Structure 1
Amino acid sequence: MRGPARGAETGGDVDYVTCLRVLVATADGGSLSRAAGVLHMTVSSVSRAITVLEQDLGAAVFNRSTRGLHLTEIGGRFLARARDILAELDDARAEAASLNAAPRGRLRVLASPSVGRAVIAPLLPGFLKAYPDIDLDLRSGPAGGDLSHILIESGADIAVVTGRPPDSGLLFRPVLTGSWWLMAPPGRVPADAGPDDLSGLPCLAPSGQEAEWRCHRGGRTVVLPTTGRITADSPDMLRALAAAGAGLALLPDWMFLHAAPGEAGLERVLADWRITPAADESCDLSALYPRKKVVPPKTRAFVTALGAAGRAFDARMICLK
């Protein structure tokens, strides 16, 4: 592509992007005068831009007659590429503008009650202080299951989800690689206990799940039956039951993202074992949001804050090892 050509009427350069916009507007409007009105240019300037484009291509893009303008074969093919180029350019400009724009507006966040209480709520005072032009609208989703369809139907900007996000066409960004922690009231389990020593202790299991946990270490796996009389459908309820002395609970570590287990009246047991539910399901946290060419600054700011909280938690866990 040659550089800009000199415009005889204005004495200035004819911008090649302007030539492309003139081509599109003229093709859509069917005349130079309509294109001039759309682009707020003079008819002579529009005509000059078409001439510059044709000189650059070495071929006519329009056939001119008393009935109007009609695209040539070359003009039609070039028009399709010009539309793509302008669309990409507009997207790039919008993205650059959004990166420079201050995050503002109402941000609608969807999460399960447990994630909302343990992860999001403690984050908000600092987040709102850092971004005074953002307002939060927090919405509760189900404790488990797929939040992607709820995100779309509710019009929320972002969902904070657990497990592996489904292939829903939405964008997701990992926030925290979760681990399962076996929790008990302080002193309930000896510090040197192993999985075999827990046999017979009451265990608290999520409703509807297989009644066993699996303890892994050094290539060895020990199956621990959850011999309890209580099940619950909420991690919050399982944590409260464990703190009340009703049994051991297997909880995702993100429940202690902002508060140590001791603050909830619990301690981690079998910390040198990797413990999973029978199905070995993931308890990772991810941010899920609609696929857009330009992610709104308010959404990007919130995802960044979540990621920072996850990295700080990971750093604390490394220091404790």
Structure 2
Amino acid sequence: MDKLGALKMFVVTAQLGSFSRAAEQLGKTPSALTKAVNHLEAELGARLFERSTRRILLTEIGRVYLETARLVLQRLDEASEEIEQLQHGLRGSLKITAPLAYGRAFLDQVCDGFLQQYPQISLQVDLCDEFVNLLESGYDLALREGHDDLPGLIARVVGSNRLALCGSPEYLARKGLAVSPQTLDQHEWLLYKHPLLSREFWWAERDGQRLSLAQPTTPRLRSDNYDLLLASALAGRGLLHTPLWSAAPYIADGRLVRVMADYEIDPDSFGPHILAVYPSHRRATAKVVAFIDYIAAFLAVRGLSSLHSFDG
């Protein structure tokens, strides 16, 4: 019997928990799937499923075998795709997840340029701020802020996640008060609400001295939506801690002014980098590498590489 075909039938049957549903999905007969699983069990000398008249359940051996079978089939699919790309150029689809704020800030431009450069590749880009488990979700790649020591994942630094404190010229003129550690509590604030961020203080550093700056207890606006806060900052509603990857074009055209620029603001649990992340058990295909290279070059040109500084 075709071993790879039997493995595929076993995997689909295990996923659906039914010979009949798996047969319908694969366009086979239930007896063909039963025969394939029986063949694998005979070869192993162990049962993969516990069967009853109403349902089937994986045995402990079946669960171990399922994990390996999935990996084998996945690696073969990746190898076939890689060979096709070597023969015919980069093609196929990429499934990517990223934070919401990346879309407006730079990812829309990255995707547009990448699709122009690689016309035979299609993208699925899902933007969300919820944590996505790459080991289970089926994404080829995730863009994240954070640290690059992630278990089970390979992370490549593609940009810097440095923070800046900014306000619009209108707000600063209306307030008429310099922004310094001593005057922070007298300013109007726009605060990003996130479970990874402290609600009590920020850390900042200047000339090797690390300072704890208290957060205001009654900000003018607090939200878990960064784009809403950015729009409010541009409208002159107050000061905002903002990543430079987002603020850079507004600083450049004068719609935002960077204040306390001689202080390095700690990005807290978000970490100092923008990362491109993929599962360590999956070899990076040529199209994944191409996307990572493209976004790293895009951010570097705009002075947002981890190797560059931004002088405002």
Query: What is the rounded CA distance, in whole Å, between the counterparts of 2:114 and 2:81 in structure 1?
Result: 25
Q: Residue 15 of structure 2 aligns with which residue?
A: none
Query: What is the root-mean-square deviation in Å for CA atoms of aligned residues?
Result: 3.3
Q: Cα–Cα, structure 1 residues 280 and 200, in superposed 2: closer, same or farther, change >3 Å? A: farther
Aligned to 1:246, the other structure's residue is in SS state coil
Aligned to 1:196, the other structure's residue is in SS state coil
Q: Residue 272 of structure 1 aligns with which residue?
A: 262
Query: What is the rounded CA distance, in whole Å, between the counterparts of 1:191 and 1:272 in structure 2?
Result: 18
Q: Does 1:123 align with 2:110?
A: yes
So what's the TM-score if we normalise by structure 2? 0.62
Q: Cα–Cα, structure 1 residues 301 and 177, in superposed 2: closer, same or farther, change >3 Å? A: same
Shift in Å, 1:176: 1.0
Q: Which runs of 4+ in 1 moved over 6 A?
A: 91-97
Q: Does 1:302 align with 2:291?
A: yes
Q: Does 1:195 align with 2:181?
A: yes
CA contact (8 A) 1:176 1:307 kept: yes
- 1:168 alignment partner, one of 127, 151, 161: 151
Query: What is the rounded CA distance, in whole Å, between the counterparts of 2:210 and 2:251 in structure 1?
Result: 26
Query: What is the rounded CA distance, in whole Å, between the counterparts of 2:178 and 2:84 in structure 1?
Result: 57
Q: Which has the larger radius of gyration?
A: 1
Query: What is the rounded CA distance, in whole Å, between the counterparts of 1:97 and 1:191 in structure 2?
Result: 62
Q: Residue 128 of structure 2 aligns with which residue?
A: 141
Q: Does 1:157 align with 2:148?
A: no
Uncovered stretches (5+) of structure 1, i.e. residues with no partner = 1-90
Q: Cα–Cα, structure 1 residues 99 and 306, in superposed 2: closer, same or farther, change >3 Å? A: farther
- How many residues are paired up? 225
CA contact (8 A) 2:145 2:270 kept: no
Q: Residue 185 of structure 1 aligns with which residue?
A: 168
- 2:89 alignment partner, one of 102, 118, 126: 102
Q: Which is further off, 126-135 or 182-191?
A: 182-191
Query: What is the rounded CA distance, in whole Å, between the counterparts of 1:241 and 1:311 in structure 2?
Result: 28
Q: Residue 242 of structure 1 aligns with which residue?
A: 233
Query: What is the rounded CA distance, in whole Å, between the counterparts of 2:294 and 2:178 in structure 1?
Result: 38
Aligned to 1:116, the other structure's residue is in SS state helix
Aligned to 1:301, the other structure's residue is in SS state helix
Query: What is the rounded CA distance, in whole Å, between the counterparts of 2:99 and 2:79 in structure 1?
Result: 35
CA contact (8 A) 1:183 1:267 kept: yes
Which one-letter code corresponds to 1:102 in the other structure? G
Q: Residue 251 of structure 2 aligns with which residue?
A: 261
Aligned to 2:182, the other structure's residue is in SS state helix
Shift in Å, 1:294: 4.0
- 1:314 alignment partner, one of 297, 303, 306: 303
Query: What is the rounded CA distance, in whole Å, between the counterparts of 2:265 and 2:304 in structure 1?
Result: 21
Uncovered stretches (5+) of structure 2, i.e. residues with no partner = 1-77
Query: What is the rounded CA distance, in whole Å, between the counterparts of 2:180 and 2:117 in structure 1?
Result: 45
Q: Residue 205 of structure 1 aligns with which residue?
A: 191
CA contact (8 A) 1:95 1:294 kept: no
So what's the TM-score if we normalise by structure 1? 0.60
Identical-pair percentage:
28
